[in-house]
Amino acid sequence: MAEQQFASVWDAIEDTPAAAENMKLRSALMMALEQHIRAQGWTQTEAARLLGVTQPRVSDLMRGKIDLFGIDTLVNMLTAAGLRVELHVAQAA
């Protein structure tokens, strides 16, 4: 069996390049939001109130439950946290 190399774990585990790109984007958004919550020193209850979601939803975010979050939801939460989301699109390698 030949060894394969992948640019990211998502490229290795997702069935299509589109699915891998979606997961990369969701992962980056989740990590940015988690880091912001930690940097602000917010409790999950405080974060939930500020983000307009429930505390269990924040818990899911903090535990990396990526399958429970869509891009729209993450962008809305980041905006509610006072962050701006920027996008860079590049030619595929």
CATH number of the domain that residue 72 is part of: 1.10.260.40
Q: Which domain holds residue 69?
A: 18-80
Residue 6 lies in a domain: no
**Contacts by 13-17 with C-beta closer than 8 Å and gap 24+?**
17/92
Percent of the chain scoring above 90 in pLDDT: 68
pTM for the whole thing? 0.85
Domain-embedded: residue 85 = no
Predicted pLDDT at 32: 97
Average pLDDT over residues 37-64: 98
* Top-confidence residue, 65 or 18: 65
Average pLDDT over residues 54-70: 97
**So what's the pLDDT on residue 4?**
73
Is residue 53 a part of any domain in this protein? yes
23 vs 6, which has greater pLDDT?
23
Residue 3 lies in a domain: no
Specify the number of domains making up the chain.
1
| Torsion angle, alpha carbons of 49, 37, 89, 66, to 10 | -80
Residue 37 domain flag? yes
Crossing angle of helices 44-51 and 55-62, rounded to 10°: 110
